[in-house]
Structure 1
Amino acid sequence: MTHPGTLVLIMAAAVLAPLLVYATGRRLRVPLVIFEIALGILIGPDVLGWAHTDEVTDTLADLGLSMLIFLAGYEIEFAAIRGDTLRRSLWAWLIALVAGIGLGLLISGGEAFKAFVIGTALTSTALGTVLPMLRDRGELKGRFGKVMTAFGAVGEFGPVVAMALLLSGRRPGESAALLAAFGVIAAAAVFWALRPRRPWFTRLTVRTLHSSGQFAVRFVMLLLACMLGLAEVFGLDVLLGAFAAGVLTRLVLHRAVPESSDEVLGKVEAMGFGFLVPLFYVVTGIEFDLDALLHDVAALLVVPLFLLLFVLVRGGPVYALAPRDLSTGDRLGLALFASTCLPLVAAITTIGVDQKLIGSNEAASLVGAAMLSVLVLPLLATRLRSADGGKGRPLPDREAGADTEAW
């Protein structure tokens, strides 16, 4: 069982992090996640040695990562991102995957599975980290926010699928068959979610929204548990189930209780961003192998190289294929936001280390570069967009409709 002091320290770090954001906000806008991870490193075994993770904290951290991916899936409005924007985002990710695996082969000396780990990590986007930043700035509903959601969704979903196919430990054909079976069940669930809900569902949601019953919140948690369990049964990464659960939840709530969906989501977000998600980031810091990074000069020197590769491999195709109606500053900002990564890099490298595909030094270098990406790239993206006049313009109806053509 977890030592009570460890959980107290983790939650103390989670509380201290937003205070530090507020204290430094006037001089430098540092993303909340950076303070959460940094505080985790500080209290972890490689610095102060106050906190050590165990099975309970690891389980809670896994739930936090699942909740982060779930909330990212919920934010996606497919009606607004399909069509040309979605095609561009798919091509940008596929090009990045080919380039990433090619570079991975060079870095690994031709070791295929190590190349898959490195290459897949280079293609990810921390949509669950970027979207709250855009929401806080009031840009999520603007043209830039819609485009970023499309490119980020593919950058979040694509690596999860790639992990299921390339890093599952099974033959690719078997993994593809299981993934296809999961997709069929998920499609059936989408069909179910689009059906009108019975009147009792709406009445019970409204009646228990401010009571101890909390029917809608419990229903959302059931959906999440079912999709996580389904992914586990098929031997796929549970993040795939979390993402699918977020999409399903949005469809159900917006069809069954549209007037209460925002309030239900607010309660789920409070559970996620108030407890589970910060716990995941703090535990990521605690488990970060700082000692391996600091005592291996080569691993430390590789960190800025990986950061550059995140921008070139992921951001390069995004910039090239960004919608042409975006300004140069918005396209640069889009590329940098899309290159911001961390949660999936941490998950991918953990799988790689567990399966002995990469060493702990290489994993620490990748995670260190991903942490720098969260610190540096959103700040740089915001400055470039501000200098170019991009301030989260609202999405006019004609632009919203431009991307809703059937593809």
Structure 2
Amino acid sequence: MNASEAGLVLIPLLAVAAPLLARGIRPALRVPIIVFELLLGILFGPAVLGWVESGVVLDRLSDFGLAMLFFMAGAEIDFRAVSGRPLLRASLGWLLSLLLGIGVGFLIAPDEGMVVIGIALSSTALGTLMPILRDARELDTPFGRVISTIGAVGEFLPLIAISIFLSTRRAPIAAAVLLAFVILAAVVVLLAHRAPHGRLHEFIRATLHTSDQFGVRFVLLLISALVALSVLFDLDMLLGAFVAGAVWRIIMARAPKPDAEAIESKLEAIAFGFLVPVFFIYTGVTFDLASLTASPLALVLVPVFLIALLVIRGSAAQFSAPSDAGGKDRMSIAMLAATGLPIIVAVTAIGVNEKILDPAIAAALVGAGMLSVLIYPLIAMTLRGDRERLDAIEQDQPQGEL
């Protein structure tokens, strides 16, 4: 059995080990489980032990995990709450981030490489933050809604920028193709909003606890169809996955609450119990540590990019911060807005494949993205004081077995 085949066994093992490690140190420190998934991937990957290597099967499962991450992000967003002025402020903040990011990129990698760096530094990992906010009971709070708005813009607009500026087509043609996709996606959203869903809800309810599992199968079809549509238009597949999540939220908006919660629980199990951990562990496995350590410049750029994420995204996030927010909340918003990884992984892969970004610089960007996931949410949620509140909640609840 080679290292690629061994990964089919070891990655599930690492996925089980991650929550055990997270809960094991929880009395001392609340660390997001994603941190352990990344670190375990690096440890068992070619960079250290070499027990797991990249392979076609793991590569495809990782792609599915990334698509599922974006689907769950799209499904979590209440678009009515983020529309209007909050959306406008977050969009203006993102535009400022992109310009500042391109400015940083110009100093490091002129030509098209600066666009890759600019897009990477303007992103926010909403799909990564959603589980953290959910575990902290922050999704439905004003603070959580601000982060959701910033994250939605910081995840969706970079995908638009990738489709326009890094497409194999010329920019005007790429913009026209993107517009065609947006129109088709808008039609799908409109149909989902206006179509009666009573029979669909009834069928989902009737198969919730049977082997039919129509609701889960319907979601997988929806993701596949919209991802295929985005690929057909030569756009990033994550656009389709994100839109699929938004469509699913609309479809289930009028479903009976117990049914909606039951199907959501099943989707969370598939996403965060299977596919998403594969993506994060595999990101650690495929991290190009050799290119990073072989380049002194790249090693220096890791903390530079990490600070740039905080300065660029953190300052832009203040456009969305409530006027009465205190210093701690503003810093928490800044740090969560500066948490980025999935878009960074995607855009740097495009840059390296198109030979417009040096692999060492790409590794430095991904390394900074990993550190942002490791450091910023931990500090942000500590500043929010969520540890004491959640410890109190857990003490009042019956303790289940690990």
RMSD: 1.8
**Structure 1 residue identity aligned to 2:252:** L
- Superposed CA offset, 1:278-326 (max 9, x none): 0011111111011121222221121101000001111111124423132
- Superposed CA offset, 1:205-263 (max 9, x none): 11100000011111111111110000011000000000000000000111345541121
- Superposed CA offset, 1:91-145 (max 9, x none): 100111111112211221x32x100000000011011111111111111101101
- Superposed CA offset, 1:330-359 (max 9, x none): 122111101001111111111111111111
Cα 1:88/1:372, change in 2 over 3 Å: same
Aligned to 1:214: 213
1:388-407 aligned within 5 A? none
Aligned to 1:264: 263
Aligned-partner Cα distance in 2 for 1:118–1:353: 12
1:116-265 aligned within 5 A? 116-197=115-196, 199-265=198-264
Cα 1:79/1:209, change in 2 over 3 Å: same
Aligned-partner Cα distance in 1 for 2:282–2:346: 13
SS of aligned partner of 2:201: helix
> How far off is 1:382 after superposition?
1.9
- Superposed CA offset, 1:171-207 (max 9, x none): 0101100110011111111111112425432221111
**Stretch of structure 1 that moved more, 339-348 or 249-258:** 249-258
Aligned to 1:99: 100
Are the equivalent residues in 1 in contact too, given 2:66–2:276 (CA < 8 A)?
yes
**Structure 2 residue 283 is the aligned partner of structure 1 residue 284:** yes
- Superposed CA offset, 1:12-64 (max 9, x none): 11111111101111112222111111111111112111111111110110110
1:30-45 aligned within 5 A? 30-45=31-46
Aligned-partner Cα distance in 2 for 1:72–1:359: 30
> How far off is 1:328 after superposition?
2.5
Aligned to 2:336: 337
> How far off is 1:390 after superposition?
11
**Structure 2 residue 301 is the aligned partner of structure 1 residue 302:** yes
Aligned-partner Cα distance in 1 for 2:389–2:332: 9
Are the equivalent residues in 1 in contact too, given 2:89–2:319 (CA < 8 A)?
no
Aligned-partner Cα distance in 2 for 1:227–1:155: 21
Aligned-partner Cα distance in 2 for 1:50–1:306: 30
SS of aligned partner of 1:260: helix
Structure 2 unmatched runs, 5+: 391-402
- Name the TM-score, length of structure 2 as normaliser: 0.93
Are the equivalent residues in 2 in contact too, given 1:289–1:364 (CA < 8 A)?
yes
Are the equivalent residues in 2 in contact too, given 1:45–1:52 (CA < 8 A)?
yes
- Name the TM-score, length of structure 1 as normaliser: 0.92
> How far off is 1:268 after superposition?
1.1
SS of aligned partner of 1:255: coil
Aligned length: 388
Aligned to 2:365: 366
